[in-house]
Amino acid sequence: MTSVFIVTYKEAPAIDMPLPPPLRLWVVVVVVVLVVTVVVKPSGALQRCIFDEVQAQVRVVRAAPNHTDNLTNEPGLRLSAGEEHPLTAGQRTSNQGGRTGVSVKQRHLSTRREMTSSPAASPQPIRIHTWIPRESDNITDAERSRLTSAVEEAVKKVSSLLSVNSILGPLLLSRDVNKYCKFVWSNSRNANYNRCGRANMNYRNETCLDVIIPDDHLTGCDIYPEPDSPGRTVLRAEGAGIPDTDFLLYLHIRSTDKCRAQPHVLAYAVHCQTDTHGRPVAGLVVICRHKLREAAYNHQTTVQTVIHELFHALGFSKDLFHTWRDCSSTTQGGAGCSPLGKLVHSDGSGQMRIYSQSVISALQEHLASADPELGGPLENLHVAAGRVSSHWESRVLRGSIMTAVLEDSTTVRIDPVTLAALQDTGWYTVNLSQAQSLVWGQGDGATFGSLSNCKDNSSSFFCTGSELGCHFLHLHKGECQTDPYLEGCRVFKPLKNASECWKGENTRQSTVEERSGEIWGFESRCFFSNLTRQRQLPVLSSPLEGRCYRHRCTAPNRYRIQVSGSDWMDCPAGGTIQIKGFQGLVSCPQRRLCLYPDITPPPGDVNPASHTSNPYEMFASVPVLAFAAAAAAVCLLAVSYRKCRSCRDRIHTVPEDHSHP
Ligand SMILES: *[C@@H]1O[C@H](CO)[C@@H](O)[C@H](O)[C@H]1NC(C)=O
Ligand SMILES: *[C@@H]1O[C@H](CO)[C@@H](O)[C@H](O)[C@H]1NC(C)=O
Ligand SMILES: *[C@@H]1O[C@H](CO)[C@@H](O)[C@H](O)[C@H]1NC(C)=O
Ligand SMILES: *[C@@H]1O[C@H](CO)[C@@H](O)[C@H](O)[C@H]1NC(C)=O
Ligand SMILES: [Zn+2]
């Protein structure tokens, strides 16, 4: 039988912001619960996140300063980046004064674990510990292996992006005093002021959404039946905590009502507890089991979904925006961070934006504009006027991992604006150099993506009809479409079927493709074209549409292309070219190709013998390449055709074929 040692900080080391008096009364357990849900549409792997809708159904409790004159037996998470070393047992005893209950407590001094984070050490990659509750449905080995590999990859990615001041000692979650306690001694003259006087006999456990948090992960709690007597009973013993952990991720595999109610829900997430600075320290991701069973299961989509949810749970949440802190002027350790207060408000046009410094800078840089009104635009669909959602506005930041709708996994980016937002929480040091190019809207100015901008034909990122074309990354053929998030704007979305130019197995041998000279494969990209082989006469003038041709970079924004049976031709960005043997033309996209080394087909779909993965490797050897290409064009064609046939065969023997959307 153990009990909780109670600490009384007479004057807590006030390195962090001094707290206003009401906050110093006693620690309230923080139970902030946020729910993220990702919905996957069956076609085209379109995902929609209904985070805010689900969250609205969940009770949210908020508070938790660590600097208290009197800590009750509910110490909460005494986690403080700026806090000095945990008090030693001796110090505690003297601070406790007469209240320190004798030998029993002394015994527990040695086992009591103070949760503090390292004050002086530099931030370290966030350690995310994954814990699967026993009540997770029994899953098959195949499902488990899909799950673990996706979650591991997501966690690894997030840890490489975000650093925190590591928690020293094991992570211990808090108990909700409002749940276990009927009343708290409220007279400050009482020795047991702010301690729990009566247990709630109905108290069972702490939960993170529908997961029961094991007692071993939780602090203990005691009851003080008399206002002035040190006598107490232990209601729950202190747990051992989770070692080497900065964020505890409960991972639940379920067929929940939420999974069933929304047929395309892949996963959803909540965060359940924060530290005293508001940084979330525990959360839950629920993976809907049916998704793990599907033949069309997509590993990369699952990884991105988990990252999206982790980002919500770690701070990209409308309920946490107001708790973000400015730590820019502080030294290491987070000392002296100041609250940013209300960050979200409407710009002149009614667009809700989040105004925090790194976000503004990142967006200004992205759109090449110095406009100070360029806060991070927030999604307004399904949100009452004046309210916001926990996603970026997808007209402006399409392709970002934090938009409400995620398209094909090859088009989803962990973009600079999202990383800037995580930096602006004040809880993380973010490795911004790992940001992926967003491309969407790059350099298009402050009005990019506004409702008028998308319809006035001034931006090459939007389209107007329902024509066929190219997705803006030019990896996929696309169709001009809209959706509710676009509010009437239209964009080229990847075709539902075989849209990838870079997939050799999309090669079709119909006469249509033959006539247009298309080539599929790792080096192929989508071009607007209306090429038609000359021998087909008479040729009617046809509109440009998305076609797949091979390309090779020769310099930034400079490239050559090859059409079936043609030589390699310079394709001047922003211009058009004609190809010998064809009528019509190919349009050469401006600032979309050979500018972003990280816009490439996924490496898993590569036939390593047939390409160079880094397009820039070719810059140095242009003449050789051009020569080789021209000389061997016909031969290459034959070779790549054979290769594609064999690679198709191979792909079909791989058990997890991700090629079917
Ligand atoms: C950021 O990430 C890059 C790429 O992974 C790595 O080389 C670099 O060392 C990281 N920087 C910091 C400060 O961790
Ligand atoms: C934009 O282009 C489309 C198609 O070419 C045309 O129908 C429409 O009137 C144009 N809109 C504006 C505002 O110029
Ligand atoms: C997708 O392609 C397959 C095989 O070519 C075809 O059977 C199917 O009908 C296509 N689906 C759509 C929606 O075009
Ligand atoms: C191809 O498109 C261009 C520009 O729209 C047009 O002028 C030309 O007539 C078209 N040619 C063919 C063969 O369709
Ligand atoms: Zn979301």
pLDDT at 52: 64
- Compute, in angstroms, the gap from residue 391 CA to the centroid of ligand 5: 6
Most confident of 290-304, 493-507, 533-547, 596-610: 493-507
Residue found by looking up tokens 């009384």 in the block: 8
For residues 47 and 405, give the distance between their C-alpha atoms in angstroms, rounded to a whole number: 5
Interval 343-348 mean pLDDT: 90
Q: Closest by alpha carbon to 304, among 45, 604, 600? A: 45
Q: Residue ranges per domain, the chain?
A: 5-41+499-653, 57-74+86-94+119-314, 325-462
Query: Whose Cα sits closest to atom 2 in ligand 3?
Result: 497
Q: To test the ligand 2 pocket, which listed residue (455, 457, 490) has its Cβ within 8 A of the most ligand atoms?
A: 457
Most confident of 259-263, 540-544, 621-625: 540-544
Give the closest ligand to the alpha carbon of residue 309: 5
pLDDT at 578: 95
Helices (H), 67-209: 89-96, 102-109, 141-161, 177-180
Annotation: binding site for Zn(2+): 308, 312, 391
Helix H or strand E segment including 514 = helix 511-516
For residues 78 and 171, give the distance between their C-alpha atoms in angstroms, rounded to a whole number: 10
Ligand 4 residue neighbourhood (C-beta within 6 Å): 530, 532, 539, 541-542, 544, 583-585
- Name the more confident of 520 and 7: 520
Q: Does the structure show a pLDDT above 70 at 328? A: yes
Interval 366-379 mean pLDDT: 96
Ligand 2 residue neighbourhood (C-beta within 6 Å): 456-457, 464
Ligand 1 residue neighbourhood (C-beta within 6 Å): 431, 433-434
pLDDT at 290: 81
Interval 393-412 mean pLDDT: 92
- Compute, in angstroms, the gap from residue 536 CA to the centroid of ligand 4: 15
pLDDT at 407: 86
pLDDT at 469: 97
pLDDT tens for each residue of 428-438: 999 999 999 99
For residues 551 and 574, give the distance between their C-alpha atoms in angstroms, rounded to a whole number: 15
pLDDT at 54: 54
pLDDT tens for each residue of 566-589: 999 999 999 999 999 999 999 999
CATH class of 325-462: alpha beta
Q: Is 496 in the pocket of ligand 3 (CB under 6 A)?
A: yes
pLDDT tens for each residue of 250-260: 998 888 777 77
**DSSP string for 264-312:** TEEEEEEEEEE-TTS-EEEEEEEEEHHHHH-TT--HHHHHHHHHHHHHH
- Name the more confident of 451 and 329: 451
Q: Distances from the Cα of 202 to the Cαs of 178, 198, 214, in angstroms?
A: 12, 12, 17
pLDDT at 448: 96
Query: Whose Cα sits closest to atom 9 in ligand 4?
Result: 541
Is 309 considered catalytic here?
Answer: yes
- Compute, in angstroms, the gap from residue 631 CA to the centroid of ligand 4: 29
- Compute, in angstroms, the gap from residue 461 CA to the centroid of ligand 2: 14
Most confident of 332-346, 403-417, 600-614: 403-417
- Name the more confident of 225 and 96: 225
The SS3 call for residue 228 is coil
Interval 510-523 mean pLDDT: 84
pLDDT category of residue 556 using cuts at 50, 70 and 90: very high
Q: Distances from the Cα of 551 to the Cαs of 109, 436, 488, in angstroms?
A: 68, 22, 33
Q: Does the structure show a pLDDT above 90 at 89? A: no
For residues 296 and 185, give the distance between their C-alpha atoms in angstroms, rounded to a whole number: 58
pLDDT at 25: 33
pLDDT tens for each residue of 290-323: 878 888 889 999 999 999 999 999 999 988 898 8
Percent of the chain topping pLDDT 90: 50
Interval 423-448 mean pLDDT: 96
- Name the more confident of 331 and 588: 588
Q: To test the ligand 4 pocket, which listed residue (529, 585, 586, 587) has its Cβ within 8 A of the most ligand atoms?
A: 585
The two tokens of residue 152 are 């591991």
Helix H or strand E segment including 642 = helix 622-653
- With a CB cutoff of 8 Å and minimum separation 6, the contacts of 632 are none
Q: Which of 309, 407, 500, 505 is catalytic?
A: 309
Neighbours of 481 (CB within 10 A): 13
pLDDT at 447: 94
How do beta strands 221-223 and 265-274 pair? unpaired
Closest ligand 4 atom, CA of 531?
Answer: 13
pLDDT at 263: 53
* Low-confidence winner among 238-242, 257-261, 619-623 (lowest mean pLDDT): 619-623
- Compute, in angstroms, the gap from residue 582 CA to the centroid of ligand 4: 11
pLDDT at 116: 62
Interval 326-349 mean pLDDT: 78
Q: To test the ligand 2 pocket, which listed residue (452, 464, 528) has its Cβ within 8 A of the most ligand atoms?
A: 464
* Low-confidence winner among 189-198, 329-338, 502-511, 618-627 (lowest mean pLDDT): 618-627
Q: Does the structure show a pLDDT above 50 at 658? A: no
Give the closest ligand to the alpha carbon of residue 579: 4
The SS3 call for residue 122 is coil
For residues 194 and 215, give the distance between their C-alpha atoms in angstroms, rounded to a whole number: 23
pLDDT tens for each residue of 36-59: 444 333 333 334 565 665 555 444
Give the closest ligand to the alpha carbon of residue 660: 3
Strand order in the sheet with 491-494: 468-470, 477-481, 491-494
Q: Is 497 in the pocket of ligand 3 (CB under 6 A)?
A: yes
Give the CATH H-level superfamily of domain 5-41+499-653. Answer: Leishmanolysin domain 4 (2.30.34.10)
Q: Does the structure show a pLDDT above 50 at 77? A: no
pLDDT category of residue 16 using cuts at 50, 70 and 90: very low
Judged on CB neighbours under 10 Å (0-12, 13-18, 19+), 179 is middle
For residues 241 and 213, give the distance between their C-alpha atoms in angstroms, rounded to a whole number: 11
pLDDT at 264: 66
* Amino acid, res. 264: H
- Compute, in angstroms, the gap from residue 633 CA to the centroid of ligand 1: 41
Query: Whose Cα sits closest to atom 12 in ligand 3?
Result: 497
What's the topology of domain 57-74+86-94+119-314?
Elastase; domain 1 (3.10.170)
Q: Closest by alpha carbon to 213, among 178, 243, 176, 250? A: 250
- Mean pLDDT computed over every residue of the chain: 75
pLDDT at 160: 98
